[in-house]
């Protein structure tokens, strides 16, 4: 089976983010046909259309990293019932200027964890709305709202709860199948 390059975004800029732990676990539990690279957005300035005529090098590199990926995985916390501002800023950079939307026809999945009982459900819905506007095909099922409890995932990405580990492994297998399906009917070079 074909190998796919998956770029992943961690919505939190915090070094000790529980979503970074989740991303590490997802990579470990993924089919070997998925190869991952983090797409960092921490150095992007605040987006303004004043940059559209001449993107700064950091923004050009950011868009190039997305272009190299076959698919995108968003692992995000929930801030004030939405996505973190840094992630929204990154999406604005990648989708501009008009006609150069980096997300168009790029298979994507959204997941996240939070200590709250509903995980990141509201943030994910907010992000899905933005990605829909950006014409990014999204894996809609299974949905994954992970309530993070101390010790659920260690710093090496090991999941300590067997049912959560199975769920995350199945989620990544579903994402692999979704990527294959989308890229077979919506080739990027079409």
pLDDT in tens, 133-169: 999 999 999 999 999 999 999 989 999 999 999 999 9
Q: Measured at the alpha carbon of residue 182, what is the angle toward residues 179 and 183, in degrees to the nearest 5?
A: 80
**What are the counts of helices (DSSP H) followed by strands (DSSP E) for the chain?**
5, 5
What per-residue confidence (pLDDT) applies to 189?
61
Return d(Cα 165, Cα 158) in angstroms, integer.
Answer: 9
- In sequence order, which residues have a C-beta less than 8 Å from that of residue 52 and are 6 or more positions away? 96, 97, 98
For residues 6, 62, 64 and 49, what is the CA-based torsion angle, rounded to 10 degrees?
130
Return d(Cα 112, Cα 131) in angstroms, integer.
Answer: 15
Q: What residues in the chain have per-residue pLDDT under 50? A: none
- In sequence order, which residues have a C-beta less than 8 Å from that of residue 46 and are 6 or more positions away? 89
What per-residue confidence (pLDDT) applies to 186?
81
């Amino acid at each position: 089976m074909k190998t796919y390059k998956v770029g992943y975004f961690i919505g939190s800029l915090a070094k000790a983010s529980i979503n970074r732990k989740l991303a590490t676990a997802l990579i470990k539990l993924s089919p070997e046909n998925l190869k991952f690279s983090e797409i960092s957005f921490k150095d992007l300035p605040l987006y303004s259309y004043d940059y559209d005529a001449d993107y700064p090098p950091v923004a050009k590199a950011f868009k190039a990293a997305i272009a190299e990926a076959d698919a995108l995985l968003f692992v995000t916390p929930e801030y004030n019932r939405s996505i973190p501002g840094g992630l929204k800023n990154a999406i604005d950079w990648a989708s501009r200027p008009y006609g150069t939307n980096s997300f168009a026809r790029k298979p994507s999945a959204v997941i996240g964890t939070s200590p709250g009982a509903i995980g990141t459900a509201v943030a994910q819905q907010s992000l899905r709305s933005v990605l829909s506007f950006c014409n990014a095909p999204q894996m809609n099922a299974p949905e994954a709202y992970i309530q993070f409890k101390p010790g659920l995932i260690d710093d090496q990405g090991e999941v300590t709860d067997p049912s959560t580990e199975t769920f995350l492994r199945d989620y990544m297998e579903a994402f692999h199948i979704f990527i294959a399906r989308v890229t077979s009917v919506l080739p990027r070079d079409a």
